[in-house]
Chain A
Amino acid sequence: MNLTIDVTNKENLAYLSLSGEVDAFTAPKLKEALLPLTKEEGQTVEVDLQDVNYMDSTGLGVFISALKSTKEHNSEMRLVHLQERVYRLFKITGLTEIITIDSAVRGEK
């Protein structure tokens, strides 16, 4: 019941690989890692959620803050490899309309 975050940087791409659960306990850690990356102009932040098997509204909240930050700082964010269950929460809340989610390669587990 924890969250592991790996960050790799190459040129204008920051790649975050998440593994574990995003809830009220782990969301602050995610926010701390993700937000500074969105503050660099021209940067694309790609968040890989393939190994995230649980997320709730606290995780959605972090991605909303990050999205706002990308608008402020002229950066971009996209989420990739979402598991079906996690994708569903973005769908129910209408966030699929405003957050770039690469649903074509959604992870199946």
Chain B
Amino acid sequence: MESFDFVEVKVPAKAEYIGVVRLSTSGIANRMGFSFEDIEDLKVAISEAITNAVKHAYEDSGEGEITIGFGVYEDRLEVMVADHGGSFNLGEVKEDIGPYQQDDNIEELREGGFGLFLIDALMDKVEINSKYGVIVLMTKYLHETEVGQNGDQISTTQ
């Protein structure tokens, strides 16, 4: 079996702790050698998952804990965010995600609908399991040579 390090962080399901997990995330990603851009992507994606978990915890009882597990592999980081509270209707959530389209009416724009869409856009792989509470499992690969990705940018370094 592939070996990996596992880091677990448990925080109260409160918005003020989301930033704390962001700091842990950037610490771990930085240690693994992710680029600055990838670290920023990871911070947003993980915050989105925790924000969702906090919202659901709040709707249910206003308390609870969120568990974040980091699987540190040679070539990738797997992050699991689990709210051990109520589950949501995955079908409903999926219908709600997606970028803004030119022909969408501004009145109908979803104020809270970008969370899962961003997770999907910023991570390489996303899986959601809502069997026991909601677990979001996200993966980001460590790309050692990123030639293609920044190829369209012009360097302005002097």
Contact = CB atoms under 8 A, between A and B. Distances in A.
Interface residues of A, number: 24
A67 B100 CA distance: 14
Contacts of A92: 99, 118, 121
A64 B111 contact: yes
A94 B100 contact: yes
Given A57-B51, A57-B112, A93-B117, A25 B16 contact: yes
Contacts of B117: 57, 93
A64 B121 CA distance: 20
Interface in B86-138: 99-102, 106-107, 109-112, 114-115, 117-118, 121
Contact of B51 (A23, A94, A97): A23
B24 to A, nearest CB: 12
Q: What is the interface residue range for chain B against chain A?
A: 20 to 34
Nearest to A21: B19
A23 B100 contact: no
Give chain A's interface secondary structure class.
Answer: helix
Interface of A: 1, 21, 23-25, 54, 56-58, 60-61, 64-65, 67-68, 71, 85, 89, 92-95, 97-98
Given A61-B111, A68-B107, 11 more contacts: A54-B22, A54-B43, A56-B48, A57-B48, A57-B114, A61-B112, A67-B106, A89-B118, A93-B99, A94-B101, A98-B106
28 contacts: A1-B19, A1-B23, A21-B19, A24-B15, A24-B47, A24-B50, A24-B51, A24-B54, A25-B19, A54-B22, A56-B118, A57-B48, A57-B112, A57-B114, A57-B118, A58-B51, A64-B109, A64-B110, A64-B111, A65-B111, A67-B106, A85-B37, A85-B40, A92-B99, A92-B118, A92-B121, A93-B118, A98-B109
Interface of B: 15-16, 18-20, 22-23, 37, 40, 43-44, 47-48, 50-51, 54-55, 99-102, 106-107, 109-112, 114-115, 117-118, 121
